[in-house]
Amino acid sequence: MQVIPSLDLLHGRVVRLTHGDFASARTYGEPDEVLAALQVPPGSRLHVVDLEGSRSGRPVETEIVRRLARRDLVVQVGGGIRSVDDARRWLDCGVERLVVGTVAANDPELLATLVSTFGAERIVPAVDVRDGTVRVDGWERDADASLQEVFARIELLGIPEALVTDIGSDGVLRGPSFALYRHLRSATRVSLIASGGVSSSADLVSLARLGNVSACVIGRALLERRVDLAEAGARLAVSQAIPERVIPCLDVRDGRVVKGVSFQGIRDAGDPVECAVRYEEEGADELVLLDISATDRATTTTLETVRRVADSIFIPLTVGGGVRSREDFRSLLRAGADRVAINTAALRRPELIRECAQEFGVQAVVLSCDARGGFATVRGGKEVTGVDAVQWCLRAEELGAGEILLTSVDRDGTGLGFDIELLRAVTGVVKIGVIASGGAGRREHFRDAIECGGARAVLAASLFHDRLLSVGEVKQFLAAEGIPVR
C-alpha cells in the first residue's frame, strides 16, 4: 500500500482548514519546506488540493503545482475540476492524475469524457461518503447517485482507483472507516485510496491488511507529526511478517483460576495448569497469569502456581499482580515467568520500571495499566489515582517498559467490546506494543481492537474460560479478516 502525503494549498501555502472553514486556515509554510520537513522520499505520490480552485471552480495554484510536478514526485491534484479544459490545464502543469469529486458522483457524462480524453488511469474519482450516502458540493448535499451506482459507473469506465473519504471520520482522528472499506471490498473491484481518520502508522498497517486499499492519503496526521513516513514504511514492511497475538488470561487466586466482573464477584474456574495446556493447544501465542489476590495480601502460592504453569507450556508467560519490588520481579522470573507486569508499585514509584528494565532487560518489563474513566487505577481497579492513563503509558515507555497491558476496568467482564478510544489514545502515542484487555465478548471485538485500536495483542479471560469462544476460533476469524496470526 502506498502512503500519499496530502497538501492543501491556499494562496501558495500549505494550510489546514477546520470543518472546511477558510477563515480558520492554519498555515504550515511553503510546499517545498513542508515536503522537506516531512521527509517525503523521492518517487512518492503526492496529493495536492487546490482549495481556492475548489471554491472558485477553476484551477488556481497552477504555478506551484507545476513546480512540484518537476520534482521527482507523482502528483495528483484535485479541487474544482469541472471541465475538460480545467483537466487539460492541470495536465499541462505536469500532473499525473486528476482527482474529480462532484463530477464523479453527479456528472457521469463528463466523467466518461475525461476518461476517453485522458485515459482511465489518469482519472481518480473522489467519493465522499457519509452514513453510506455519497455527498457532493463540499459535503453540502446528497449526490444524485447511490454509492453502489457511483462505483458501478467507475468500474464500467475501467478506472482502476478511487479516492474514498468517509466524511464522518475525516479530520477527527477517530480512525479510518474500516467498515466502509470492507463493505466496498465485496461491492466493487475498484482499488481504494483511503482518506480520512488516519492518526497513526498502526492505522496504515490496518488499511493495508484490508487488501482492497491500494493507497492512503494523509494530511493532518503528517503535519501534526502523528505519523512519520519512515516509521510507517517500516511498519508496513513487516505488517504481514509479524503476527498479532491472542492471549488468554488466567486470573489466579490462591492457586486457582477465578473470574469476576469488573474485578468483583469472584467465582472458581479451574486449575491453572489444565487451562494453560489447553490454551497452548488451541493456539495461544502467550499466556498472562494475573494474581488477583496478591495486591491485597502477598502469597507464596503465587510462585508455586507460576512454577507449575511455566513447567507445562512452551509459549511465553507474563505474570502480574502484587509485584512490589525488584526482589518480587526476580522471584517471578526465577519461577519461570518470561515477563513481569507491574502496576501499583510502579504508579507509587515510577523509577521501579527503570530499575527493572536495567536489571532484567526491557523485554521482561510489562506495564500493566488498569484504566477507569481515563485514569490509572491501583489495587486491582479498586482505587482511582489522579494519573492520566495515556500520559502514564507514555511515561512508562520512557522509563523502559517493553510493552503495555492496557485494561479497561470499565469494560472488564462486560463483553461489550474493548475500549477502542482508550486504545487509540495510547497506541497513537507509544511505539511499544499494547495488549488490549477488558471487554471482549465477540470475535469482531478482537478484530476491532487490533484494526482500529492499534493493539498488537488481544487478551481475554472469561470468554475463553467459559468456552464461549476458543483461541483457535478467534485466530481463524482474524486471519479471515486479513490480520496475520500465527
Partner 1 sequence: MKVTLIDSPVANIASIARALRAAGAELLITADPDEIASSRKLVLPGVGSFAAAMHWLTEWRIDAAMRAALLGDAFLLGICVGHQLLFDRSSEMGWRAGLQLVPGDVRSLEGTLPVPQIGWNRVHGTGPLFDGVPSATPFYFVNSYAAREVTAESATADYNGPFTAAVQRGRTFGVQFHPEKSSAAGLRVLRNFVACR
Q: Which residues bind partner 1 (CB under 8 A)?
A: 230-231, 233-235, 237-238, 240-243, 245, 280, 285, 310-311, 314-316, 333-334, 336, 338, 361-363, 402-403, 431-433, 456, 486
**Amino acid residing at 206:** S
Judged by CB, which is closer to partner 1: 179, or 237? 237
- Contact (CB, 8 A) for 13 and 27: yes
Task: State the Cα–Cα distance between residues 251 and 261, nearest whole angstrom.
Answer: 12
Judged by CB, which is closer to partner 1: 157, or 369? 369
Judged by CB, which is closer to partner 1: 111, or 337? 337
Judged by CB, which is closer to partner 1: 28, or 329? 329
Q: What are phi and psi of 29, to 5 degrees?
A: 115, -175
Task: State the Cα–Cα distance between residues 171 and 196, nearest whole angstrom.
Answer: 6
∠ CA 326-332-333, nearest 5°, is 90
Q: Known catalytic residue: 251?
A: yes
Catalytic site residue from 8, 170, 251, 448: 251
Write down the H helix ranges in 349-415: 351-360, 389-399
CA nearest to 448, candidates 427, 404, 478: 478
Taking the complex as a whole, the smallest distance from the CB of residue 119 to partner 1 amounts, in Å, to: 37
Catalytic site residue from 285, 328, 370, 419: 370
Task: State the Cα–Cα distance between residues 8 and 213, nearest whole angstrom.
Answer: 22
Task: State the Cα–Cα distance between residues 334 and 306, nearest whole angstrom.
Answer: 10
Taking the complex as a whole, the smallest distance from the CB of residue 397 to partner 1 amounts, in Å, to: 9
Q: Known catalytic residue: 166?
A: no
Taking the complex as a whole, the smallest distance from the CB of residue 480 to partner 1 amounts, in Å, to: 18
Taking the complex as a whole, the smallest distance from the CB of residue 200 to partner 1 amounts, in Å, to: 14
Judged by CB, which is closer to partner 1: 141, or 334? 334
Q: What are phi and psi of 409, to 5 degrees?
A: -65, -35
Write down the H helix ranges in 166-282: 178-187, 201-210, 220-223, 229-237, 272-282
Q: Would strands 339-342 and 317-320 be described as parallel, antiparallel, or unpaired?
A: parallel
- Contact (CB, 8 A) for 114 and 84: yes
343: three-class secondary structure by DSSP: coil
Taking the complex as a whole, the smallest distance from the CB of residue 423 to partner 1 amounts, in Å, to: 18
- Contact (CB, 8 A) for 123 and 159: yes
Taking the complex as a whole, the smallest distance from the CB of residue 362 to partner 1 amounts, in Å, to: 6
- Contact (CB, 8 A) for 303 and 331: yes
Judged by CB, which is closer to partner 1: 251, or 403? 403
Judged by CB, which is closer to partner 1: 231, or 304? 231
CA nearest to 183, candidates 235, 242, 129: 129
Q: Grid coordinates 483457535 are at which residue?
A: 472
Cell digits of residue 475: 485466530
| Angle between the N-to-C axes of helices 301-310 and 272-282, in degrees from 0 to 180, rounded to the nearest 10 | 30
Q: For residue 148, what are the contacts with CB-CB under 8 A and spacing of at least 6?
A: 187
Taking the complex as a whole, the smallest distance from the CB of residue 211 to partner 1 amounts, in Å, to: 18
Task: State the Cα–Cα distance between residues 142 and 165, nearest whole angstrom.
Answer: 14
- Contact (CB, 8 A) for 216 and 207: yes
Judged by CB, which is closer to partner 1: 123, or 309? 309
Taking the complex as a whole, the smallest distance from the CB of residue 279 to partner 1 amounts, in Å, to: 11
Give the catalytic positions in this structure: 251, 370
